[in-house]
Amino acid sequence: MLDRFLNRSGAGMQIEEQDEHSLNGHRELRGRQDASVFPYGSQELDVDGQHMSGGWEKWGRWEEWDGAKSNDVQDIYKSLPVTPASSHMPDMPPLFSLPTLLTPQVPDIPHKNKEEAVSPEHVDNPPPQTASMTHNGYVDMVEQAIDRLNDAARRIAAVEQNKDRRSPKASRLAPLHDISGEIQRQSTPMPNTPSTPEASFSSSGESPMPDLWPWIPDTEENEQDIWANHTDPLVRRRFPDRHETARIEQEDVRRARAEGFRVSFLRRKHVKIQGKRLRLLFGCLAVMAICALLIDAALVSLTFSHSHRTTPAVVNGPPTLTLSVEGASDNKVRYGQNITLHLRHFTPLSKVYLTHDVEQPILLGNSSPFVTVSRTGAANVTTAVDTVNWNPGFHSIDAEDYTTRYTANATLEIVDSGPTHPSHLIINTQTLDFQSGIQGSNTIEPLTLSNDGNAAISWAASSDASWLVLTPNQGIFSKTETIEVGVQRGTLAPGDYTGKITFSSNVGSPIVVAVTMSVSLLPPNAGPVLMVTPAVLSFTAQDGDTNPGGQELVVSNPGTQQLSWSLTNNVLSAATDQNSFLTATDTPTASWLNVSQTSGTVDPKATNIIHINVQSQNLLPGAYIDTLLFTAGGSSTLNKTESVSISLTVTPQCGLTLSTGIMSFTSVANSTNSTVQPLNVGATSGCSMVKMVNWQASSSASWLQITPASGQVSPAKSSVISVSVNTGSMAAGSYPGTITVTNGTSTQSVQVTLLVQSPPPPTAPIMSASPLSLSFTAIQGQSNVSQQTVVISNTGQSALKWNEQAQELGGGWLGASPTGNVINPGQTGQMVVTVNASSLTPGNYTGQVILSGTDTSPALHIASGSPQTIMVQLTVLPPCGLQAPSSAALAFTATQGGSNPAPQSVTFTAQGSCSWPVNWQAHITSHANWLMLSALSGSISASGQAAPLTASVNVGSLPPGTYTTQVSIAASDSASIQAQGSPQVFSVTLTIQPACQLQASGNTLNFSTPTGQVSATQDITIQESGNCARPVSWTATGNSGSSSWLIFSPPGGSDNGAGATISVSVNANTLAPGSYSGTITISASGTGSSYVQGSPITVAINATVAGVSVSGTVNACTASPCTSSVPLAGATVSLVNASGATIASATTGATGTYSIPNVALGSYTVSVSGTNTSGTHYTGTVTANVTGNMPNINVNALPG
């Protein structure tokens, strides 16, 4: 009867799945025990005077129990004390426990009056049951009922022992313990066929449940179990539905009446009250919801009207990128499928740039590689995997925050797409012919590098001639990269020229491109000629770092006429992958490339300097190439257009590298085997300037364990994380997890897939292998590479038969032995994995060894844990070698006595199997004290890392001319083994042009002019030769003593190369006859007050002023007026000025004539005194206003 009693009371109702955790495969009871008791309703029933409340009348359904009188049980029950809920019998564990109890719904009982519920008629003051009964009240009553049941069981044992009475089975009355932590969805199937409890225990392999009711006699050994071939209610349990509840209620009423109990119905007014309260509560909630909506609308309006005050949402954790593939639980995808990129924790509302491999943009539906995240820093975007943009194999996907430059990374594998191919550098042509051009002209041609494999290619290039240049001269790419190659004819002598460009890479032997060109003579007396040098410029910057230093372009005019030039536009000259970035960000070329001057004039044999600067801080990693187009006007201009290619390489910032981005584990449920896989953590080449990089790692699942969780790395030092799984009590299934490794600027994600297989039969083998990841490194041509061992274990109960299958993703380089074997239970076996790199070119190779296991039966049943996949990574390195410098020749041009030209840099790398670091030394091969190097020694810490060497020159007092020397670079690794290709040499040439020289047409000017006149004009021609900063300004000044009579014009001006003329004359109007001297000083300076040699120049001015002549005849007269006269010979003629001073005198001749030369202009008195032959003395005077030569100044002398 007790069994039926428990079944009726719902003591064994089936557990419902409650929470999200159970939906993931775990049936957690969350406090609901298998024996949970649930009341059916809130009725009150009095059975023969015994009152029970709160719906617990179901405990009072008394039936016959295998011949026992119902009165006996009733008497026992009536005598039960009410025990506190927390107390139990000290010698017997509690039969049931119920930590959690849900408030039951009142079943729909089909009574005559739906408002009534069953209740005994003779209840004395029954405690009221209200709708507000709390959860704790139910729990207390349930615990009291449990205690009563426990006590009832003991009292039943104390009743007189009737041998004919069937005792309860211990297996059904044993206290139930909490097994919620052990129940799993997959491992706890519901019984589908009737079975006895004993059969259930037996099938599971467990021992029978111990008899926890020792005081009850066990008399059932030989009697037939009434539950045989039926479903035991304690095994198959569930909650009754509302119809079954009503049926049970009707049966209870019928049985109570059949046994003579009077049943009456009580009105349940509290139901109506409860309904009214619920309606009132619902109305209040509706009003509150409307108010909340109104408040939300007001807040939204306020937000839009004050958008500039919006505070970004707080983002927790570093930015992360994870992938999901439709229909898959890992990061493996096939062509035609879509992948979804999940961005989390980025800067709110920022743009995130999506690329794969090395800066290959992922174009989304809007043909843009950018996605804008939400206010929480999250976004989900989907893209298709096609054969155009994706090669088979592994791919790295990066998401970079355009605001913070933080980068998140994940790995994708394209499977079932054929074998992958090792990377191989392909150049679209092996020869370049630049044809013929006149001196001073440049020619630029593109050259395309491509990769027909999967892994990225790191390359560097150098030329063997100073006239052969290229930009950029090194880089890393995945698919293609375009560079610009230029030839500079400049001042080369006419003739044919040949050169070569050598490309070295990490994937093969060097490749040589042959270059030819011709130079023709500049026509004589050529007009304006446009010449721009150098033909290319290269800039390098790191992502997020400061802008690189500026460089210079020189615009020259080797012609004979003035040149006018202009920079018309900036054009993207090469189709780089970064064009999509510039387009998406609306970033024109001009925003990252700045020029100091866009037009100008250049005089013959003169130059202009243009300063070039780049703005890299707004650019993401990649190679950017632009062309400056120069044009010159004039029909007679030669080289009317010239191009200059400028490249900017933005390298990634310091970050982390992982040996793999995908891991997989296979385990068996309830197995304790734990396989460990290594995860190598390294630093990128961008960390070369950082001593150590700190990293932290975390996992997203409790079953995924990593050790250690933090560490330090550098380009020369890596760390290893041990990754393992703990399946514990996990049910069979596939479980995804993620390992996140971060530093201050990047997040690397590793997708981990755990496959937990169902437990095998007890006699089946169980297979496991360790390690599941192998890494090999070999030198090109090396055949004997160290082998590695994989341990295969059998933890099952029967023999394991295994075999292997090696799959190379390109090439027959992977092998394993033995190919199969048998491992006994509890034993291990070994498989040796070998690689052969003798025929492989440098690069990265991926393969896998698949281990399959079966039992040894003829049917060959698949063993649990099979298959096991061992991933094999092979890196083939070129021998340790020193690569050629980025430029085989450096050329400097300077002006004598001028400033030093800008420094120039070369870079060189070491690659291959080196004992890092590689140390290098540089020295100048010949005596050249004008050349200085930024360093004479240094080290390279990792393969492919570029070592810069800057060369600068000191013009000093060097005379004009050409100076040449060489720089030799030797390298050896830390084991003192000289690197192949060492030493490498590059040349340095310094051309010193004559300084800007001021010249004048003469050093002296001589003037001769009559007094009172202005002399004829003479010219001084000035010009500048050499390398002048045009225009040249000049001034002319006379000395202080000559300022009254020395005339010159203009007194100053500027010269753009055509020269200047100064007109000079002498003003003798105020000068007495005689000789005069003076000077004119000419000073000049170039643009920016640059020095002009030879300035100042002094020109001497000599002036001779000739006076006028006064002449005439002296007549001897007898009386005045003189009517008759004779010439007076031998008379003295004196010229007296206004002050009475005699300035000149003369004696008359036989005819009485005289002449006084060099007479200054002015008013004079001519006085005569003389005696004739008869001894008569004569005197006379006359006034003369001398304005020029005065030939007729006659004087009549009278006796006196």
pLDDT in tens, 338-353: 899 999 999 999 999 9
**pLDDT value at residue 815:** 87
Tell me the C-alpha distance between 880 and 909, whole Å. 11
* pLDDT tens-digit map of 883-898: 888 777 788 888 887 7
pLDDT tops 60 at residue 5: no
Q: What is the pLDDT of residue 86?
A: 38
Tell whether the model's pLDDT for residue 366 goes beyond 80: no
Q: Which is nearest to 57 in space by CA: 261, 258, 235, 222?
A: 261
Cα–Cα distance, 497 to 993 (Å, whole number): 24
CATH dotted code for 1109-1199: 2.60.40.10
- What tens digit of pLDDT does each residue of 820-837 get? 999 999 899 999 998 888
In the block, residue with structure tokens 């494999």: 453
pLDDT value for 261: 67
Give the Cα separation of 746 and 658 in Å (integer). Answer: 12
Q: Tell whether domain 997-1106 is in CATH 3.40.1440.60.
A: no
CB-CB contact of 880 with 910 (8 Å): yes
* Residues 6 or more apart whose Cβ sits within 8 Å of residue 1040: none
Residue 484 pLDDT greater than 90, yes or no? yes
Q: How far apart are CA 20 and CA 31, in angstroms?
A: 15
pLDDT > 70? residue 461 = yes
Q: CATH assignment of 654-759?
A: 2.60.40.10
Q: What is the rounded CA–CA span in Å between residue 909 and residue 504? A: 10
Q: How far is CA 988 from CA 882, 904, 933, 1032, in A?
A: 20, 10, 11, 31
Please say if the pLDDT value at position 562 is more than 80: yes
**Residue 622 zone, left/alpha/beta (φ > 0; ψ -120 to 50; rest):** left
Contact 707, 624 (CB under 8 A): no
- Using CA atoms, how far residue 1152 sits from 381, 722, 911, 1166, in Å, is 127, 137, 114, 14
Architecture label for domain 767-878: Sandwich (2.60)
Average pLDDT over residues 1171-1178: 89
Q: What is the pLDDT of residue 506?
A: 76
CA angle 1134, 1136, 1140 (to 5 degrees): 135
Q: What is the pLDDT of residue 1096?
A: 93
The reported pLDDT for the residue numbered 915 is: 84
pLDDT tens digits for range 196-244:
333 333 333 344 444 444 544 544 444 455 555 555 555 555 566 667 7
- Give the Cα separation of 676 and 681 in Å (integer): 16
* 79 has pLDDT over 90: no
Q: State mean pLDDT over 455-482.
A: 86
Q: How far is CA 273 from CA 131, 268, 269, 279, in A?
A: 9, 9, 6, 10
Cβ neighbours of residue 1074 closer than 8 Å, sequence gap 6 or more? 1104, 1105
320-414 topology per CATH = Immunoglobulin-like (2.60.40)
Task: Tell me which residue has tokens 């001894």.
Answer: 1175
Q: Which of 308-322, 383-397, 931-945 is predicted least confidently?
A: 308-322
Higher pLDDT, 304 or 364: 364
Crossing angle of helices 135-158 and 70-78, rounded to 10°: 120
Checking if the pLDDT of 519 tops 80, the result is yes
Amino acid code (one letter) for 242: R
Return d(Cα 427, Cα 430) in angstroms, integer: 7
Stretch 169-189: mean pLDDT, rounded? Answer: 44
CATH topology of domain 423-653: Immunoglobulin-like (2.60.40)
Q: Indicate the residue type of 1188.
A: G
Q: Where are the alpha helices (DSSP H) in 1012-1078?
A: none
Averaged confidence pLDDT in the chain: 77
Rounded distance, CA 516 to CA 369, Å?
41
More confidently predicted of 266 and 696:
696
Per cent of the chain over pLDDT 70 is 74
Distance in angstroms (rounded) separating the CA atoms of residues 640 and 944: 41
Low-confidence winner among 94-108, 348-362, 936-950, 1176-1190 (lowest mean pLDDT): 94-108
pLDDT confidence of residue 229:
53
pLDDT of residue 582 exceeding 80:
no
Residue 731 clears pLDDT 90, i.e. is over it: no
Note the pLDDT of residue 23. 35
Place 67 in a pLDDT band, splitting at 50, 70 and 90. very low
For residue 317, what are the CA distances in angstroms to 320, 377, 449, 662? 8, 11, 40, 22
Give 1088-1097 pLDDT, tens digit per residue: 777 888 899 9
**Amino acid 1132: pLDDT:** 94
Are the C-beta atoms of 1042 and 1024 separated by less than 8 Å? no
Q: Is the pLDDT of residue 976 over 60?
A: yes
Task: State yes or no: pLDDT of 171 exceeds 50.
Answer: no
Note the pLDDT of residue 1051: 93
The pLDDT of residue 969? 94
> Whats the size of the chain, residue-wise?
1200
Cβ count within 10 A of residue 344: 20
Of 68-77, 362-371, 1067-1076, minimum mean pLDDT range? 68-77
> Quick one: average pLDDT of 166-191?
45
The answer to whether residue 673 scores a pLDDT higher than 50 is yes
**Beta partners for 774?**
872
Q: What is the mean pLDDT of residues 839-850?
A: 77
